[in-house]
């Protein structure tokens, strides 16, 4: 294998912080090698360490579907009898790790690439895949939902534009006999975040909400704007017909990971709501200061009280001090509009 092209220091960027947790403990995989199928219910063994010390970590999920982890990010790929379908090309040179992992499995060309949403930490290496296909004499098919295609154009993302746009929502596309359902998530992580279900494989590619195994997610619950629709999406996802979920960061995901995430959100809501109800606003009023200073001081007091409550259950988690305040602050901004306090 080639050595990583990016240092750990370079990885500690916005995209890298999403998944970084060397202290998490993995459940043991019974897979003897990366090319043997992962036993359902198990995580990829040692992923939280291997992903930062190897060029890539490859794990077979089904007969034809694999997950690849390169530093902080994951991709999914499917191998047909004719070519390879890749979900998300990654960024910062990590896409080359995905290409190298595919070469470990098959000599078939990469013939199709999917964009899950417009955020560049998952997309900016797309040109590497265009070039890889061209080297094999193929023109890469680039697939995206209409929402994602629109966002790529709206933001002027410096990536190849989609060649195949799925107009319907929900919709689907076919890849060499594989049916892939395409559906907007409505989770408010981004306006275009899209989930893809590889129907025959029962693998769901749904990024940037839960962080399986690591539990405590990226800041502000992975940057969502509105918590309620995100919760509803996760409840709907649990009802879908899948076995493995690639959540984009951290380990492979299962329904138990969604349940833990929903429990976490409920705990944050309860602790924050109680803190708001127990903290009167009037003492923070100061006619000599701007009103937003009053509000900020009130929010800080509420957050301090909520965090103290949450520390009893989550305080030993290595990410607690880094991310919990951001989760509580997001909850404050949500509860402030409808919570009776």
Shared domain check, 217 and 91: yes
Decide if 203 is inside a domain: yes
Shared domain check, 145 and 45: yes
Beta-carbon contacts of residue 153 (< 8 Å; ≥ 6 apart): 161
Q: Among the three residues 234, 254, 274, which one is the final residue of a domain in this structure? A: 254
Q: Among the three residues 230, 254, 278, which one is the final residue of a domain in this structure? A: 254
Helix (H) or strand (E) holding 9: helix 8-11
Burial 263-274, CB ≥16 within 10 A → b, else e: ebbebbbebbbe
Shared domain check, 183 and 34: yes
The tokens of 248 are what? 């984009």
Percent of the chain's residues with pLDDT above 70 = 89
Model confidence over 284-294: pLDDT tens digits?
Answer: 999 999 999 99
Shared domain check, 286 and 143: no
Decide if 160 is inside a domain: yes
Decide if 249 is inside a domain: yes
Shared domain check, 177 and 206: yes
Decide if 340 is inside a domain: no
CATH number at residue 118: 3.60.15.30
Q: In what order do the strands lie in the sheet with 164-166?
A: 57-60, 65-70, 73-79, 84-87, 110-114, 141-145, 164-166
Domain count, the chain: 2
Shared domain check, 222 and 303: no
Shared domain check, 176 and 50: yes
Shared domain check, 307 and 185: no
Please give the pLDDT value at position 337: 72
Write out the residue range of the structural domain in which residue 138 sits.
8-254
Decide if 3 is inside a domain: no
Decide if 271 is inside a domain: yes
Decide if 65 is inside a domain: yes
Shared domain check, 223 and 189: yes
Query: 244: closest CA among 65, 2, 95?
Result: 65
Please give the pLDDT value at position 339: 67
Shared domain check, 36 and 164: yes
CB 245 within 8 A of CB 204: yes
Residues of the chain with pLDDT under 50: 1-32
271 to 193, 308, 312: CA distances (angstroms):
29, 9, 11
List of E strands, the chain:
57-60, 65-70, 73-79, 84-87, 110-114, 141-145, 164-166, 171-175, 178-184, 194-198, 203-205, 244-246, 252-253
Shared domain check, 269 and 236: no
Decide if 303 is inside a domain: yes
Distance separating alpha carbons of residues 231 and 104, to the nearest angstrom: 38
Model confidence over 39-73: pLDDT tens digits?
Answer: 999 999 999 999 999 999 999 999 999 999 999 99
Shared domain check, 205 and 104: yes
Q: Among the three residues 254, 275, 291, which one is the final residue of a domain in this structure? A: 254
């Amino acid at each position: 294998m080639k050595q990583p092209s990016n240092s750990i220091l370079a990885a500690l960027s916005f995209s890298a912080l999403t998944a970084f947790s060397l202290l998490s403990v993995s459940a043991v995989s019974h897979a003897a090698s990366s090319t043997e199928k992962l036993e359902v219910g198990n995580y990829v063994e040692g992923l939280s360490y291997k992903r930062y010390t190897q060029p890539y970590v490859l794990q077979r999920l089904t007969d034809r579907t694999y997950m690849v982890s390169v530093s902080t990010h994951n991709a999914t790929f499917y191998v047909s009898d004719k070519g390879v379908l890749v979900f998300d090309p990654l960024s910062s040179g990590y896409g080359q790790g995905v290409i190298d992992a595919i070469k470990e499995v098959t000599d078939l060309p990469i013939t199709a690439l999917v964009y899950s949403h417009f955020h560049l930490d998952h997309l900016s290496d797309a040109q590497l895949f265009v070039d890889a296909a061209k080297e094999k004499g193929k023109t890469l098919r680039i697939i995206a939902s209409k929402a994602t295609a629109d966002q790529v154009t709206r933001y002027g993302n410096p990536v190849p534009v989609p060649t195949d746009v799925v107009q319907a929502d929900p919709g689907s596309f076919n890849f060499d006999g594989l049916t892939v359902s395409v559906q907007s998530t409505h989770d408010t992580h981004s306006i275009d975040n899209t989930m893809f279900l590889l129907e025959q494989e029962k693998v769901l590619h749904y990024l940037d909400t839960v962080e399986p195994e690591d539990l405590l997610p990226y800041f502000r619950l992975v940057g969502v704007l509105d918590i309620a629709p995100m919760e509803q999406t996760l409840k709907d996802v649990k009802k879908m017909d899948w076995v493995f979920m690639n959540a984009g960061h951290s380990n492979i995901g299962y329904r138990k990971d969604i349940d833990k995430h929903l429990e976490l959100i409920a705990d944050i809501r309860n602790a924050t709501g109680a803190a708001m109800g127990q903290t009167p606003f009037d003492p923070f009023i100061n006619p000599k200061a701007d009103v937003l200073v009053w509000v900020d001081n009130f929010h800080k007091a509420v957050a301090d009280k909520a965090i103290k409550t949450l520390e009893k259950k989550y305080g030993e988690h290595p990410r607690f001090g880094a991310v919990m305040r951001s989760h509580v602050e997001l909850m404050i901004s949500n509860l402030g509009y409808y919570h009776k306090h």
